[in-house]
C-alpha cells in the first residue's frame, strides 16, 4: 500500500491510527468490509494554445505585382515586408529619421560621399544574411531593371562595399540622400539569394518576384489570392523582436466597394479601412465601436492631360479645359477635407509657392480659349480615366463632365481598378485624354513631384509632358537642394510657373488623410511621409 502523506505534522499520527484500526477490523470473523475507491489527484490541465493576434485591413486597391524594383506605389509590403536603410519620423519627432537597416551614417563636407553603418544580425526571410553586399546587389538590380524606382538612385555614381557592414555611396549631385534612402517604396532591400535562386534566362527573377517577396521586415508574405486577400505572418527571426499584443497575422482584404468595407468595419470583421468617401465620414463616426481619425497629408490629386497626343497636345486647349473645372465644388464634394491645389506642390511641402498662378472656374474664358484652339462651336470629344472605387474621383469627374458639356465638350468617363487604368496609361497610344491620379511623395522633397510627374521620358510621367527648360531646371534644383535650399526654392517656383502656364494638368486638390478603424486599435501612428502605408508592427488590438 502506498500512502501519500501531507507535510503538516499532525496528519501522520491520525493516518496511522486509522490504518491500524482498519487492519484490526480485518482480522475478526465478521464480514469483510467493501473496498473504498481511492480519490485520484486532479491532473493539471495543459495550457491552452495561445491564439494568434490577427489584424484585418481592408484595402481598396491591389497591386498587380510585388517586385519592389518595379512597382512604384503603395502596397501592404511597404515597410512591413521590405525595409529601408532609414525611415522618416513623423513631424514633431526629436530626430528626423529612425535607423532601420542602417544604424548610423555620415556625409562628407561636399555632400557627395555618404557612408552607412549597417545593422548586424539581420536576416532575410529566406534565412540569408543582410549585409553591405546585399544592399549593393538590391540597388544595382533596381537600376538594371530600369523601371520607375530606378529614378530614386539617379544621383548615385558608385556603390562601394567598405566592409561587411559598411557601405559607401558616391554621388554626382548634392542631393538629400538620407531622404531618398528613406523613401516609401522603391528602396526596400530584397534578398540576393532569392534573386539568384529564381532567376531565369537573366531576368533577375522579375517573373518570380511578381508574386513573391523576400525582405527583412517583421512580416513575411504567406499568401496572395489575387482579387481576394493577402496574408502576412510574423517573421520569428525579425531583428526588432516582438512584444505582447503585436499582430501575429495580418490579413489584407481587397474590397473595392466602400459599402462592403463599411459593413465589415461595423461588424468587427475589419479592424481598419484604407478609404472612406467624403460624404460618409460623419456617418461613419456614429457607428458603434468605430472611430474616424484625420491626419495632415502631402496627398494631391491631378487631372493629367495627355500632352503628347491628340487634341490635348494643344496648350491653348489645355488652358481652356483648366478654366472649365469648378474648383469651388472641391470643398463641398470633399466635405471640407480638401482644398484647391496651387501648382504642382502641396502647401506643406517645402518649395511650395503661394504666388504661383491659380486657375479659376470661368466658362466664358474657357469658351474663348476653346475657340482659339480651333473649336469655336465645341464638338470636341475626350476620354477620362479614373479609379472606379474612389468616390471622390468619381464625383469630381462627373462634375467636370457636366460643366464641359456646357461649352460643347463631350467627356466620356471610364472607371476601372487602378492596375487597369495605369496599365493603359503606360502607353501614349492607349492613354486617356485626361487621367485622374493621386500623388504623394516617395520621399519628402519637391524633386519627387517634379521628376516623376514632369521630367521628359520618365516612365511615371503619365501625362507625356515634355519641356526641355523644365527638364533643365529640375536637374539644377535637385543638385542645388543639398547645399543651397533658398536657391532650390526659387528654381522650383520657376518650374511651377512654367508648368501651370503650360496647363500640364488640372491641378485639382490637396487633402487630409482620413482613416476609419475600430476603437480596439491602439498605438496607430500616421506618418505623412508614407501616405496610405500602414505599419502593422507596433499596432495593438484591445478587443
Give domain status of residue 316, yes or no: yes
| Domain co-membership, 264 together with 139 | yes
- For residues 204 and 145, give the distance between their C-alpha atoms in angstroms, rounded to a whole number: 8
Q: With contact defined as beta carbons under 8 Å apart, do 366 and 325 qualify?
A: no
Q: With contact defined as beta carbons under 8 Å apart, do 399 and 384 qualify?
A: no
Beta strand 113-118 with 54-59: parallel, antiparallel or unpaired?
unpaired
| Domain co-membership, 362 together with 474 | yes
CATH number at residue 491: 3.10.105.10
| Domain co-membership, 316 together with 435 | yes
Give domain status of residue 15, yes or no: no
Give domain status of residue 47, yes or no: no
Model-level pTM? 0.74
| Domain co-membership, 120 together with 155 | yes
How many beta carbons lie within 10 A of that of residue 29, not counting itself?
Answer: 4
DSSP string, 442-483: SSSSHHHHHHHHHSTT-TT-TT----HHHHHHHHHHHHHTTT
Nearest alpha carbon to residue 327 among 513, 506, 504? 506
| Domain co-membership, 151 together with 114 | yes
Give domain status of residue 157, yes or no: yes
**Helical spans, DSSP H, in 174-219:** 177-180, 192-198, 206-209
Given this model, what pLDDT does residue 507 score? 98
Q: Which residues pair with 444 in a beta bridge?
A: none
Given this model, what pLDDT does residue 47 score? 67
Q: Report which DSSP code applies to 343.
A: S
| Domain co-membership, 242 together with 345 | no
Q: Report which DSSP code applies to 149.
A: G
Give domain status of residue 6, yes or no: no
Give domain status of residue 27, yes or no: no
Q: Is 55 exposed, middle or buried (0-12, 13-18, 19+ CB in 10 A)?
A: buried
Residue 326 corresponds to which cell in the numbers above? 469648378
| Domain co-membership, 333 together with 459 | yes
CATH number at residue 531: 3.40.190.10
| Domain co-membership, 136 together with 250 | yes
Can you give the length of the chain in residues? 543
Give domain status of residue 524, yes or no: yes
Q: With contact defined as beta carbons under 8 Å apart, do 130 and 96 qualify?
A: no
Give domain status of residue 218, yes or no: yes
Q: Which residues pair with 303 in a beta bridge?
A: 436, 506
| Domain co-membership, 316 together with 233 | no
Render each residue's pLDDT in the chain as its tens digit; 543 residues.
Answer: 433 333 333 333 333 333 333 333 443 444 444 455 565 666 666 667 789 999 999 999 999 999 999 998 889 999 999 999 999 998 778 898 999 999 999 999 989 999 999 999 999 999 999 999 999 999 999 999 999 999 999 999 999 999 999 999 999 988 889 999 999 999 999 999 999 999 999 999 999 999 999 999 999 999 999 999 999 999 999 999 999 999 999 999 999 999 999 999 999 999 999 988 888 899 999 999 999 998 888 999 999 999 999 999 999 999 999 999 999 999 999 988 899 999 999 998 989 999 999 999 999 999 999 999 999 998 999 999 999 988 899 999 999 999 999 999 999 999 999 889 999 999 999 999 999 999 988 888 999 999 999 999 999 999 999 999 999 999 999 988 877 889 999 999 999 999 999 999 999 999 989 999 999 999 999 998 898 899 999 999 997
Q: Which residues pair with 88 in a beta bridge?
A: 97
| Domain co-membership, 210 together with 321 | no
Structural domains counted in the chain = 2
| Domain co-membership, 327 together with 288 | no
Looking only at Cα atoms, what is the longest distance across the chain?
Answer: 131
DSSP string, 98-121: EESSEEEEEE-TTS-EEEEEEPSS
Given this model, what pLDDT does residue 434 score? 98
Which residues does 28 contact at the CB level (< 8 Å), separation at least 6?
Answer: none
Which domain, by its residues, includes 96?
Answer: 54-296+513-541
| Domain co-membership, 84 together with 191 | yes
Amino acid at each position: 500500500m502506498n500512502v501519500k502523506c501531507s507535510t503538516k505534522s499532525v496528519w501522520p499520527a491520525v493516518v496511522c491510527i486509522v490504518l491500524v484500526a482498519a487492519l484490526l477490523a480485518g482480522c475478526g470473523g465478521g464480514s469483510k468490509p467493501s473496498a473504498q475507491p481511492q480519490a485520484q489527484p486532479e491532473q493539471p490541465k495543459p495550457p491552452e494554445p495561445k491564439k494568434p493576434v490577427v489584424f484585418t485591413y481592408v484595402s481598396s486597391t491591389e497591386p498587380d505585382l510585388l517586385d519592389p524594383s518595379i512597382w512604384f506605389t503603395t502596397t501592404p509590403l511597404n515597410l512591413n515586408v521590405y525595409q529601408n536603410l532609414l525611415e522618416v519620423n513623423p513631424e514633431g519627432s526629436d530626430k528626423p529619421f529612425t535607423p532601420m537597416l542602417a544604424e548610423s551614417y555620415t556625409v562628407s563636407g561636399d555632400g557627395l560621399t555618404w557612408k552607412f553603418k549597417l545593422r548586424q544580425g539581420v536576416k532575410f526571410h529566406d534565412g540569408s544574411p543582410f549585409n553591405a553586399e546585399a544592399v549593393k546587389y538590391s540597388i544595382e538590380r533596381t537600376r538594371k531593371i530600369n523601371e520607375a524606382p530606378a529614378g530614386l538612385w539617379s544621383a548615385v555614381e558608385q556603390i562601394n562595399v567598405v566592409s561587411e557592414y559598411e557601405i559607401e555611396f558616391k554621388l554626382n549631385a548634392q542631393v538629400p540622400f538620407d531622404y531618398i534612402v528613406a523613401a516609401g517604396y522603391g528602396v526596400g532591400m530584397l534578398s540576393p539569394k532569392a534573386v539568384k535562386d529564381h532567376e531565369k534566362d537573366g531576368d533577375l527573377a522579375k517573373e518570380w518576384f511578381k508574386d513573391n517577396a523576400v525582405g527583412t521586415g517583421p512580416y513575411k508574405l504567406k499568401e496572395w489570392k489575387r482579387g481576394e486577400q493577402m496574408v502576412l505572418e510574423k517573421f520569428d527571426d525579425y531583428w526588432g523582436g516582438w512584444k505582447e499584443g503585436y499582430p501575429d497575422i495580418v490579413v489584407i482584404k481587397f474590397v473595392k466597394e466602400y459599402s462592403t468595407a463599411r459593413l465589415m468595419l461595423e461588424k468587427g470583421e475589419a479592424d481598419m479601412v484604407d478609404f472612406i468617401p467624403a460624404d460618409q465620414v460623419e456617418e461613419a463616426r456614429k457607428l458603434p465601436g468605430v472611430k474616424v481619425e484625420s491626419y495632415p497629408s502631402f496627398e494631391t490629386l491631378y487631372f493629367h492631360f495627355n500632352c503628347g497626343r491628340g487634341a490635348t497636345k494643344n496648350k491653348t486647349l489645355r488652358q481652356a479645359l483648366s478654366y472649365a473645372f469648378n474648383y469651388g465644388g472641391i470643398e463641398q464634394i470633399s466635405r471640407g477635407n480638401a482644398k484647391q491645389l496651387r501648382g504642382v506642390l502641396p502647401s506643406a511641402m517645402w518649395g511650395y509657392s503661394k504666388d504661383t498662378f491659380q486657375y479659376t472656374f470661368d466658362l466664358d474664358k474657357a469658351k474663348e480659349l476653346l475657340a482659339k484652339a480651333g473649336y469655336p462651336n465645341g464638338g470636341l470629344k475626350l476620354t477620362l480615366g479614373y479609379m472606379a472605387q474612389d468616390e471622390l474621383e468619381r464625383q469630381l469627374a462627373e462634375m467636370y463632365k457636366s460643366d464641359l458639356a456646357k461649352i460643347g465638350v463631350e467627356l466620356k468617363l471610364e472607371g476601372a481598378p487602378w492596375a487597369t487604368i495605369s496599365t493603359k496609361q503606360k502607353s501614349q497610344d492607349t492613354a486617356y485624354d485626361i487621367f485622374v491620379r493621386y500623388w504623394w511623395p516617395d520621399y519628402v522633397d519637391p524633386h519627387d513631384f517634379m521628376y516623376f510627374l514632369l521630367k521628359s521620358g520618365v516612365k511615371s510621367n503619365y501625362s507625356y509632358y515634355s519641356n526641355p527648360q523644365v527638364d533643365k531646371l529640375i536637374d539644377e534644383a535637385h543638385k542645388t537642394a543639398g547645399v543651397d535650399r533658398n536657391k532650390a526654392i526659387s528654381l522650383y517656383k520657376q518650374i511651377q510657373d512654367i508648368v501651370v502656364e503650360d496647363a500640364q494638368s488640372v491641378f485639382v486638390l490637396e487633402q487630409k488623410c482620413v482613416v476609419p478603424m475600430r476603437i480596439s486599435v491602439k498605438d496607430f501612428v500616421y506618418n505623412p511621409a508614407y501616405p496610405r502605408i500602414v505599419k502593422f508592427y507596433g499596432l495593438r488590438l484591445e478587443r
